[in-house]
Amino acid sequence: MFTEAVKAIVSFSNSAEELLNRQKINKDVLFKYLVSNDVTPSVNSKKTDLIGEVILLWKKKSQVSLSLSSSLPLSLSLSHLSSASK
């Protein structure tokens, strides 16, 4: 049931920014997420600032993932992707 709700929310969101702007995703959630990913945002950051930081983090992670997968043999790239989705 939970995954169905998440799928519905994601499918009706037009962008990552729109998804992160949802009321249930508050500043505290965004702040804790960033800190858990070794990003230290300002304590006084607005929600929009934190959303920008999360999107920037995701872009950096996707670039690292793409560069890693292009430099590894196909079998290692696929195992990296499957383990990341777990």
DSSP string for residues in 17-76: HHHHTSTTS-HHHHHHHHHHTT----TT--HHHHHHHHHHHHHHHHHHHHHHHHHS-HHH
Give the confidence band of 56 by pLDDT, cuts at 50, 70, 90. very high
Residue 7: its pLDDT value, please?
A: 85
Q: What is the pLDDT of residue 20?
A: 92
Distances (CA, A) of 86 to 8, 11, 19, 35, 81: 20, 20, 21, 21, 9
pTM (2 d.p.): 0.69
The rounded distance, in Å, linking the Cα atoms of 56 and 40 is 13
**Per-domain residue ranges of the chain:** 2-84
Q: What tokens does 65 get?
A: 């993932």
